[in-house]
């Protein structure tokens, strides 16, 4: 039983942390809720940072998880611009960078992830950028506008979601864009080569140049400014700015120094949590990008770096902290918008896990649903410019359906007719 004199502390003022605080209150918790975030901004959502906000089409106010006044109304004590530097598990305290010590009864780690850095000469030049925070997006907006105005060149390292979304935004601003990617297709580690090609074609049609099968080895510059980006096959791409979009690493340092069990780095790392999002310490939980969940549906440990996982994982952890019975086994879900292509992906099917890709619709027209199957069972589905199908797609995955493949590929057959 949780009583009113308890203190629940949340480390990390992102979506997972803010939603956890909201849920503690909506579930009736009357003790202290303390939310500590090292950014100065109130908790905000990051997807617009590489889409509408980057393009100047969405207002700054629209990205925040709650209105600024909500925290006081909900009696959530906010410590912004403060970093938690240590956890003392025996004393049940956290220590902030300014020396303040705060006691907790239950602790939630929602520390998210941070962009991986390019480890090459020239990475410290002023024109080398990352994209994770609002301040990064503000800076990149100016950079893209200037590149568009001056016919400038942007080189993007990495053809993942963020690299491709920024490529689309940069083309809308009118910048010249080259994307350097070691794999043979974009989004290779998520979609595999079959469907990744759809995104290569989309961007090529909008004037993006790809350099596949190569890595950036050096960024050359003069007087602090970027001049070019070199790759390991000896090519040199002219560049005024470079975006490093080579993935994100979970922020596990705090958990690690507190002796919590971490997940295997080879499989994505993160803080290891059970199906109720509890870490190896019964009073400490983790959610969002940083949590590697014992996922019962896929029977593996999964760390999901997506919006929906923070949106739902924060509340699930809050309920578990309140002693409720939680089994977090949602079908992973994410979305992306690039030019006039909108997509939603549900499931989990990295290359090596599937043996068949079924396309339902017209991939050339970019209006289709792709399904990834193993031995006939649906593992994942992605709808591209086809809407309102997430529910049946997720049901096919959740129920481990082995549909008739011809019917699955036939858009005239309702998805609902394929359930087992």
CA distance 239 to 212: 17
Residue 331 makes contact with ligand FAD by CB under 6 A: no
Position 157 contacts ligand FAD (CB under 6 A): no
Q: Which is nearer to ligand FAD, 34 or 228 (CB)?
A: 34
Among 175, 179, 310, 341, binds ligand FAD (CB under 6 A): 310
CB of 266 to ligand FAD, least distance (A): 21
- Classified as helix, coil or strand, 363 is coil
Picking from 50, 53, 52, the residue whose alpha carbon sits closest to that of residue 163 is 50
Q: Is residue 288 near ligand FAD by the rule CB under 6 A?
A: yes
Contact present, 8 and 105 (Cβ < 8 Å): yes
Interface with ligand FAD includes 269 (CB under 6 A)? no
Nearer to ligand FAD by C-beta: 162 or 349? 162
Site size for ligand FAD (CB under 6 A): 36
- The stretch among 277-285, 294-302, 304-312, 376-384 that binds ligand FAD (CB under 6 A) is 304-312
Stretch that binds ligand FAD, among 66-74, 140-148, 170-178, 330-338 (CB under 6 A): 330-338
162 is written with which tokens? 């963020």
Query: Which stretches of 53-133 are DSSP H helices?
Result: 70-73
Is 320 a residue that touches ligand FAD (CB under 6 A)? no
Provide, rounded to whole angstroms, the least separation between the CB of residue 345 and ligand FAD. 9
For helices 188-205 and 161-173, what crossing angle results, to 10°? 10
Residue from 2, 9, 10, 14 touching ligand FAD (CB under 6 A): that is 14
Task: Establish if 251 lies at the interface with ligand FAD (CB under 6 A).
Answer: yes
Distance CA 331, CA 298 (A): 9
How distant, in Å, are the alpha carbons of 85, 202, 234, 262, 396 from that of 281? 18, 47, 50, 12, 35
CA distance 51 to 54: 5
Binding mask 98-127 for ligand FAD (x = CB under 6 A): ------------xxxx--------------
Closest distance to ligand FAD from the beta carbon of 407 (Å): 29
Q: Which of 203, 162, 160, 213 lies closest to 54, judged by CA? A: 162
Contact 398, 331 (CB under 8 A): yes
Q: Determine the Cα–Cα distance for residues 155 and 311; give it in Å rounded to an integer.
A: 32
Taking the C-alpha atoms of residue 53 and residue 272, their distance in angstroms, rounded to an integer, is 33
- Contacts by 43-46, CB closer than 8 A, 24 or more apart: 43/13, 43/14, 43/15, 43/17, 43/18, 44/14, 44/15, 44/134, 45/15, 45/307, 46/14, 46/15, 46/132, 46/307
Any contact of residue 158 with ligand FAD (CB under 6 A)?
no
- CB of residue 256 to ligand FAD, shortest distance in Å: 12
Q: Which residue shows structure tokens 């099917």? A: 349
Q: Which is nearer to ligand FAD, 35 or 120 (CB)?
A: 35
Binders of ligand FAD among residues 350 to 409 (CB under 6 A) are none
- Which is nearer to ligand FAD, 204 or 253 (by Cβ)? 253
Is 344 one of the binding residues for ligand FAD (CB under 6 A)?
Answer: no
Residues 187-216 that bind ligand FAD (CB under 6 A): none
Q: Is 306 in the site for ligand FAD (CB under 6 A)?
A: yes
Among 2, 10, 12, 354, binds ligand FAD (CB under 6 A): 12
Q: Which of 116, 132, 209, 301 binds ligand FAD (CB under 6 A)?
A: 132
- Token couple for 414: 């309702």
Q: Are 110 and 287 in contact (CB under 8 A)?
A: yes
Task: Give least dist CB 311 to ligand FAD, A.
Answer: 8
Tokens of 114: 């941070």
By CB under 6 A, the residues from 37 to 66 that bind ligand FAD are 37-39, 46-47, 49-50
Q: 2 vs 24, which CB is nearer to ligand FAD?
A: 24
365: Cβ–Cβ under 8 A, 6 or more apart, which residues? none
> Closer to ligand FAD at the Cβ: 227 or 249?
249
In the bound state with ligand FAD, the residue whose beta carbon lies nearer, of 214 and 308, is: 308
Residues lying near ligand FAD in the complex (CB under 6 A): 11-17, 36-39, 46-47, 49-50, 83-84, 110-113, 131-132, 162, 251, 254, 288-289, 305-308, 310, 334-336
């Amino acid at each position: 039983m949780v009583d009113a004199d308890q203190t629940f502390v949340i480390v990390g003022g992102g979506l997972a942390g803010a939603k956890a605080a909201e849920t503690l209150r909506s579930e009736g918790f009357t003790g202290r809720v303390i939310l500590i975030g090292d950014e100065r901004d109130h908790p905000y959502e990051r997807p617009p940072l590489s889409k509408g906000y980057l393009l100047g089409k969405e207002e700054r106010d629209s990205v925040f998880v709650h209105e600024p006044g909500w925290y006081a109304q909900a009696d959530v004590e906010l410590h912004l611009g403060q970093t938690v530097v240590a956890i003392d598990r025996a004393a049940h305290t956290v220590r902030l960078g300014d020396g303040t010590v705060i006691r907790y009864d239950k602790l939630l780690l929602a520390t998210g992830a941070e962009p991986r850095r390019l480890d090459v000469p020239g990475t410290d030049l002023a024109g080398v950028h990352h994209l994770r925070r609002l301040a990064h997006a503000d800076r990149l907006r100016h950079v893209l506008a200037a590149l568009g105005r001056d016919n400038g060149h942007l080189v993007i390292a990495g053809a993942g979601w963020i690299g491709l979304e920024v490529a689309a935004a940069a083309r809308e601003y009118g910048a010249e864009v080259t994307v350097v990617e070691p794999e043979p297709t974009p989004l290779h580690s998520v979609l595999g080569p079959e469907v990744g090609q759809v995104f290569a074609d989309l961007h090529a049609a909008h004037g993006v140049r790809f350099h596949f099968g190569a890595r950036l080895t050096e960024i050359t510059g003069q007087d602090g400014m970027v001049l070019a980006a070199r790759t390991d096959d000896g090519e040199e791409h002219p560049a005024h700015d470079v975006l490093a979009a080579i993935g994100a690493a979970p922020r596990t340092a705090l958990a690690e120094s507190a002796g919590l069990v971490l997940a295997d780095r080879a499989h994505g790392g993160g803080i290891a949590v059970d199906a109720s999002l509890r870490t190896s310490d019964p009073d400490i939980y983790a959610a969002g990008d940083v949590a590697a969940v014992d996922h019962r549906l896929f029977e593996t440990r999964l760390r999901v770096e997506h919006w929906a996982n923070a949106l739902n994982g924060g509340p699930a952890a809050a309920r578990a902290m309140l002693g409720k019975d939680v089994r977090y086994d949602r079908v992973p879900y994410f979305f992306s918008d690039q030019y006039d292509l909108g997509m939603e992906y549900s499931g989990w099917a990295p290359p090596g896990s599937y043996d068949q890709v079924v396309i339902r619709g017209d991939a050339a027209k970019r209006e289709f649903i792709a399904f990834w199957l193993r031995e006939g069972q649906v593992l994942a589905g992605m709808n591209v410019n086809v809407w309102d199908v997430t529910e049946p797609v997720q049901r096919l995955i959740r129920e481990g359906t082995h549909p008739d493949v011809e019917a699955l590929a036939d858009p005239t057959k309702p998805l609902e007719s394929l359930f087992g």
